[in-house]
Amino acid sequence: MNWFAPAMTIAGKDLRLEWKTRDVVASVGLFALLVVVTASFAFPTTGDGREGIAAGVLWMAFLFAALLGMGRTMAIEKEDGCIDGLLTSPAPRESIFLGKLFANLGFTYAVELVILPVFIVLLRLDPAGGPWLLLLGTFMGTLGLVTVGTLFSAMAVNTRGREAILPLLVMPVSVPVMIAAVKVSEAAFTGEWGSTTAWLLLTLAYDAVFLLVAIATFPSLMEE
Amino acid sequence: MTLAKDAVYVIAAYIGSALLYGTYLALLWSKERRLERGNRDLQPR
Amino acid sequence: MNVETDALPLDAAVLEEEARPLTRSKYRRPLGVLALVAATILVAMAFLYAPEDLKQGPAQRIFYIHVPAAWIGFMAFFVVFVGSLAVLFTGKRRWDDIASSSAEIGTIFTTAVLITGPLWGRPVWGVYWTWDPRLTSYLMLWLIYLSYLVLRGYVADPARRAKYCAVLGIVGFLDVPIVYLSVRWWRSEHPTQLVFERGGLPPEMLITLMVGLATFTLFYAYLMTVRVRTGRLQEAADEEVLS
């Protein structure tokens, strides 16, 4: 698929830029950490059902962090005028989207992989359901979230409120994947499988549908 | 639950809906009339 | 493989201009009259013809304005969806008029659903709200509608506004059934879900409901004729200011 190569190049550019400046990862990572720490004061560390609450807190932190990061990366793109450069290049528009998506995923996964162990330690959780389930759920849930977020951030950055409107656009639409991600994480924390398969399938369906929709509609957003 | 108390909810629902739709309709009509008369909104919506 | 580059209407910086009539639609008056008549009949039937529900009491009569509103609220969103697809495929401004008008009108109906729902729920089931799949999906629908309207206010350029809202309209519409499924699975793990009795409706109730559906459909259509025109008038006025 000749979308892939240009996408990787674009993503590589963003990630290399990020590696040098650590602009986004630092602020987003710190933000996520603060959310987790603040929440752990408010939420119970003992008692029934705390895994469910913990999962909810975790994904709120991930959601806010992802929104912050995606808003930033698009804003950086716009500030530096890179978008025009990308548009005049022979790269197909779909690749631009995939490139941004991969870059955003890179940042978000990096932050999440750091936050997860911190979170588990702080809230004294025990991923009895298997750390692999936790990772899988995080991977798939984040994918759906960042797909929709990347698509909308391309729009948000061109509005008069800039990135501020991004949470407003993303949050209602992301409700299904958020519910699913929380349920899967909860299962990972409790060890009770329950209907986790159904939730994983829902996440898969969500990811697939919106990835397709995003790739299909992104080009029409990129006109000047 | 007395019948009278329940009736309050029904009336509230019907009247409330009518008010909602009616207000919207009135706003639409007045906006239309204003635009028809050639009122220039100096701030594009 | 992208063979087309700038040939697509999508790549045009300005949406295709065509004669979009600013005159009143000829369907408007008949629709308005019919809607008004139907509404009168509906209210009469809801209170005089339809029998009182044995279990729920008089509050059940809210059903006749709640369910049709919910139906129209969803149908309006479907129109937004179709219009949004059409905006992206044809690039014609007419479809943005339709999509945006339907979004605004749909929001009104959805708001009515979220108001009448709790007013029905409280006397009959004791609670104003419950996180059951239907209500929750409806709340999400309402929120997506609102985000659509906010987005519309945030983008100044008409062509860009049309495209951005089109994308949101498509994404939002596809999301609603997924929301419904996810909440249904979520709540089925907590059997405190209120079950809406769906058993057979007595024929009088069914007929009244049908009248309700007809009323609301006519009302929606009437509102569309007014709102689409108002939107076009507004845009014409905006363009005059800018020129």
In this predicted model, what pLDDT tens digit does every residue of A118-137 receive, in sequence order?
Answer: 888 887 777 776 788 899 99
For chain B, say whether C241 makes contact (Cβ under 8 Å): yes
CA atoms in the 13 A half-sphere facing the CB of C108? 23
For chain C, say whether B34 makes contact (Cβ under 8 Å): no
Residues in chain B with CB shorter than 8 Å from the CB of C112 are 16-17, 20-21
User: What would the two tokens of residue A31 be?
Assistant: 């933000």
User: What would the two tokens of residue A96 be?
Assistant: 């631009």
For chain C, say whether A194 makes contact (Cβ under 8 Å): yes
pLDDT at C123 over 90: no
Check residue B16 and give its pLDDT.
95
User: What would the two tokens of residue B18 be?
Assistant: 């009518």
Residues in chain B with CB shorter than 8 Å from the CB of C240 are 40
Q: Is B4 inside any structural domain?
A: yes
Residue C197 in 3-state DSSP? coil
Number of domains in chain B: 1
Cβ separation of B32 and C229 shorter than 8 Å?
yes
Distance from C182 to chain A by nearest Cα, in Å? 5
Query: Residue A110 CA to chain centroid, in angstroms?
Result: 10
Q: Which of these, C52, C79, C167, lies nearest to A153 by C-alpha position?
A: C167
Distance from C108 to chain B by nearest Cα, in Å? 7
Q: Is B34 inside any structural domain?
A: no
pLDDT at C137 over 50: yes
Kindly report the backbone phi and psi dihedral angles of residue C92, in degrees, each rounded to the nearest multiple of 5, phi listed first.
Answer: -90, 135
Q: Is B3 inside any structural domain?
A: yes
Burial C163-173 (b: 16+ CB within 10 A, else e): bbbbbbbbbbb
Q: Which of these, C154, C150, C153, C69, lies nearest to C106 by C-alpha position?
A: C69
Q: Is B38 inside any structural domain?
A: no
Is the sign of the CA dihedral C143, C145, C148, C150 positive or negative? negative
* C-beta of residue A116 within 8 angstroms of C-beta of residue A142: no
Q: Is B42 inside any structural domain?
A: no
Mutate to test the interface with B, among C29, C40, C63, C108 (most CBs of B within 10 A): C108
d(CA A175, CA A196): 17
User: What's the predicted TM-score (pTM) here?
Assistant: 0.86
Mutate to test the interface with C, among A169, A192, A193, A207 (most CBs of C within 10 A): A169
Between residues C45 and B6, the one the model is more confident about: C45
d(CA A104, CA A143): 10
Between residues B40 and C9, the one the model is more confident about: B40
d(CA C55, CA C32): 36
Per-residue pLDDT of chain A (224 residues; tens, 9 = 90+): 577 777 787 788 777 777 777 777 788 888 888 888 887 777 766 677 788 888 998 999 999 999 998 988 888 877 777 777 777 777 788 888 998 999 999 989 999 999 999 888 887 777 776 788 899 999 999 999 999 999 999 998 888 877 789 999 999 999 999 999 999 999 998 888 878 888 999 999 999 999 999 999 999 888 75
Domain span at B16: 1-29
Check residue C10 and give its pLDDT.
42
Query: Could you please report the per-residue DSSP string of A141-173?
Result: HHHHHHHHHHHHHHHHTTSTTGGGGHHHHHHHH
Q: Is B8 inside any structural domain?
A: yes
* C-beta of residue C209 within 8 angstroms of C-beta of residue C67: yes
User: What would the two tokens of residue A21 be?
Assistant: 């400046």
Check residue A1 and give its pLDDT.
55
For chain C, say whether B25 makes contact (Cβ under 8 Å): yes
- Residue identified by tokens 């059903």 is C63
Q: Which of these, C67, C117, C69, lies nearest to C223 by C-alpha position?
A: C69
* C-beta of residue A107 within 8 angstroms of C-beta of residue A32: no
Kindly report the backbone phi and psi dihedral angles of residue A111, in degrees, each rounded to the nearest multiple of 5, phi listed first.
Answer: -65, -45
pLDDT at C1 over 50: no
Tell me which DSSP letter residue B1 carries.
-
